[in-house]
Structure 1
């Protein structure tokens, strides 16, 4: 009798373990299908889990690069728009200087043009102190305050840092987020350094004062205004090139991200077709095992002796 009891106990224990294992396997497959991931813990596949961690770290770093690229794109877009406003004002100033260069104008007419040029100077000064997406000086380099200040004589003086900061874009690439005021407002005319705002201010002052030759001052200013417009246009080209660079690195980042996503899916993702087939197979074996166990468990020695 002890032998029969021991055998029966072993049969039930073995059957219980087998059915439990099948149920666990079925539940594991169902969980994989539910979360779309093959691994629930690192021990399931240590090599694959390590590679997935590396890919996830790269994704997080890429998110930082995206934030930097967005900030640089915003600042450079603001710079491009502001430079366009500079161009518009300089074009209008050139038109006014051309009018003032005529010998047929009266003193009052030139004074009126001078007042309008003074207003343009004030607008240029305001544009030079435009703010970036973070509220810092757009053309002041790393300065958080204004890029330009007026001295006692009313001249615009640059008070920013020598260069604009750079932002990393990933994979060792970076971009300068803006340009400084002197990079496009300072230029040379006939070997003489000058400043765009100074040109406009000096012409405005000459037309509003009793200068001996205001028309001559206007004609002289035309060359400087033309050179200033060229300098602003060059600045726009630099900004446009940097915007294009951000777009190019962004496209590469997207491609690399798609490659990582595909690899992550291959390594840690669930193969739905295979998982469903495996689940159906496991459920079938489980059902058969449970049915077989039920039939075998109902059999006794007395049944065989009848």
Structure 2
């Protein structure tokens, strides 16, 4: 009788455990259908769960990189716009210098041209002190204030830092968010000494309004410096345009990588609706059959067999 009792207990225990496992499996499939996810707990599949966490972290970092890229794009776009306005102002300054170099003009006419150049200088100074997307100096490097200030003599002096900050774009890539004023406004003048476009325009305006003994010669000399300065400004615009293109390239790659991560995340963690339904139906069928079989076997005894 001990053998029979032991065998019966083992049969009941094994059957109970198998039915419990089937019920747990069915509940898991039902949970997957409700949540749309294969993995409810890390213990369900530690390797897959670890990979999903990695993908989630990478996506979070990608969001930060995208935010940096948007800021850099905004600042560089503002820089490009300001430089374009400067270019237009300098082209007008060249036209005025060409007029002023004509020896037939009267002093009053040259003074009138000088007054307009004063206005152009003020416009250039305002553009040089433009603000970025955070309200800081666009061309002042890391400075939060103005990039240029006026000294006691009214000359524009650069007061920003030596370089503009960089912003990470992901995967070890970064971009400089702008340019400092001296990087595109400063150059070597026709006299062989360092100067900048602000100084050229300001000095020409003063010369035409009586500060120079030979305003016609000053206007002719300024034409050379204005051309050199405009070339420097154009080079700066090219640099800004290249950086904007680089942001676009890294943005496209970020989008592609995000799509790949999304696909991998779906493959690893998302439950396939049709497959999960089929598995649930199969499990429920086996469970019902097991319960029915267990019930029939459990009701059998030695007397029913003898009868």
| TM-score exceeds 0.5 | yes
Give the equivalent residue in structure 2 for 1:113: 113
CA displacement, residues 48-107 of structure 1 (integer Å, 9 cap, x when unaligned): 222222222222222221111111111111111111011010011111111122222222
Instruction: State the SS of the aligned residue for 1:209.
Output: helix
Q: How does 1:8-47 map to 2 (within 5 A)?
A: 18-47=18-47
Give the equivalent residue in structure 1 for 2:175: 175
Give the equivalent residue in structure 2 for 1:74: 74
Give the equivalent residue in structure 2 for 1:259: 260
Give the equivalent residue in structure 1 for 2:89: 89
Alpha-carbon distance in structure 2 between the residues aligned to 1:211 and 1:60? 62
Alpha-carbon distance in structure 1 between the residues aligned to 2:10 and 2:175? 72
Give the equivalent residue in structure 2 for 1:195: 196
Paired residue total: 306
How far did residue 302 of structure 1 move?
Answer: 9.5
Give the equivalent residue in structure 2 for 1:163: 163
Alpha-carbon distance in structure 1 between the residues aligned to 2:237 and 2:68? 21
Cα distance, 1:17–1:223 mapped onto 2, change above 3 Å: same
Stretch deviating more after TM superposition (19-28 or 108-117): 19-28
Alpha-carbon distance in structure 1 between the residues aligned to 2:215 and 2:184? 27
Alpha-carbon distance in structure 2 between the residues aligned to 1:109 and 1:291? 111
CA displacement, residues 230-267 of structure 1 (integer Å, 9 cap, x when unaligned): 11100000011111111111222222222222222222
How far did residue 8 of structure 1 move?
Answer: 9.2
Q: CA RMSD in A?
A: 2.7
Give the equivalent residue in structure 1 for 2:98: 98
Is 1:205 the counterpart of 2:206? The answer is: yes
CA displacement, residues 156-198 of structure 1 (integer Å, 9 cap, x when unaligned): 0000011111111122111111100000110113332211001
Alpha-carbon distance in structure 2 between the residues aligned to 1:252 and 1:210? 57
Alpha-carbon distance in structure 2 between the residues aligned to 1:210 and 1:83? 29
Give the equivalent residue in structure 2 for 1:268: 269
CA displacement, residues 137-166 of structure 1 (integer Å, 9 cap, x when unaligned): 100011111111000010000000111111
Alpha-carbon distance in structure 1 between the residues aligned to 2:182 and 2:6? 96
Give the equivalent residue in structure 2 for 1:185: 185
Cα distance, 1:210–1:245 mapped onto 2, change above 3 Å: closer
Stretch deviating more after TM superposition (233-242 or 294-303): 294-303
Give the equivalent residue in structure 1 for 2:251: 250
